[in-house]
Amino acid sequence: MMEFQQQYQIPKIRSKPTGITLLDKRLDGGLPEGSLVCVYANPISMPEAFLYQFASVNNTYYFTTSRPAQYVKENIEAMGFPADNIEFIDVFSQYYLNEYGQFVLEDRYRDKEIFDFIDHHINEILSKQEDCTVIFDSISFFLKLDVGRGLKEWLINKLYIASKQSKDLYYIYMMKGVHPDDIVYMVVDICDVVFDIDTERLGDRISSRLAIPKIRNKPPMMETFKFYISEGVQIDTSKDIA
């Protein structure tokens, strides 16, 4: 038995920080390297603040879908984070605008072509073999496109495999309340880590909470944390972390 344990010893998986100091402390250094992380959030909870903080840790490739990259960069800097380490891949402009900067009203080929655009950029990132972070803001954009389910599954699996090959953290933001359950379950099943972020009204107060119910290669976190947004994500230390 001793020889078997020595021969088949499980390699230790390193942790990579999220950039949220108290959360990294609670996670013994951060998330397991090579994780595909689903940020599953109510948009009113300002999940982009989490993405901006994740981007502050390392050289980052930031895929923007709902707004032009220049405005996302302005928001990141307004929150107090540097953007010099971020390379933006402007999916919004690629999809919605033509070469003259005008909105494309109808083009039945663009839904398929945008997946080719992503495939090219992910392959390019992998070819550089550098330590980096990859962020999709948001993956919901792709899940709502008028393409077959197989292409959507291909994208999630592409990102999953890319995270494993590079041992980098890949974050994908998925909006709550906009996708069919089977699509949500498919994404959550493939992802290694799930950040569950929500906001509720309690009387005359607004309460935002974070849960991380799924972490492969680490024990799941059974508690939830209150947080607020002020120069990034601030965990409520007085009530949630001793």
Residue 12 maps to a domain: no
Q: Rg of the chain over CA atoms, in angstroms?
A: 19
pLDDT at 198: 94
Residue 48 lies in a domain: yes
List pLDDT tens digits, range 70-80: 999 999 999 99
Residue at 6 is within a domain: no
Supply the pLDDT for residue 99. Answer: 74
Main-chain dihedrals φ then ψ at residue 174, nearest 5 degrees: -120, 125
Beta bridge partners of 173: 39
Asked whether residue 140 is assigned to any structural domain, the reply reads yes
CA proximity to 118, closest of 163, 173, 74, 156: 156
Domain coverage including residue 125? 43-240
* CATH number of the domain within which 163 lies: 3.40.50.300
Residue 182 included in any domain: yes
Quote the DSSP letter at residue 201. Answer: E
Buried b (16+ CB within 10 A) or exposed e, 191-207: bbbbbbbbbeeeeeeee
Task: Provide the pLDDT for residue 242.
Answer: 43
Is residue 92 one of the residues assigned to a domain?
yes
Question: How many CB atoms are closer than 10 A to CB 125?
Answer: 19
Instruction: Kindly state the tokens that stand for 19.
Output: 């950039």
Q: Who contacts 86 (Cβ-Cβ below 8 Å, separation ≥6)? A: 55, 59, 60, 61, 62, 73, 76
Q: Is 37 helix (H, G, I), strand (E, B) or coil?
A: strand
Residue 35 lies in a domain: no
Report the pLDDT value the prediction gives residue 4, as an integer from 0 to 100. Answer: 46
Whole-model pTM over 0.85 = yes
pLDDT number for residue 7: 56
Is 24 inside a domain boundary?
A: no
Taking 50 as the pLDDT cut, the residues of the chain under it are: 1-2, 4, 240-242
Range list of β-strands (E), the chain? 15-16, 31-32, 36-41, 60-64, 86-90, 133-137, 169-175, 193-202, 205-215, 224-229, 233-235
Per-residue confidence (pLDDT) for residue 120, from 0 to 100 = 98
Q: Which of 210, 190, 188 is nearest to 198 (CA)?
A: 210
The contacts of residue 23 (CB under 8 Å, 6+ apart) are 225, 235
pLDDT per position as a tens digit, 155-205: 999 999 999 999 999 999 999 999 999 999 999 999 999 999 999 877 778
**Considering its fold, how many domains does the chain have in total?**
1
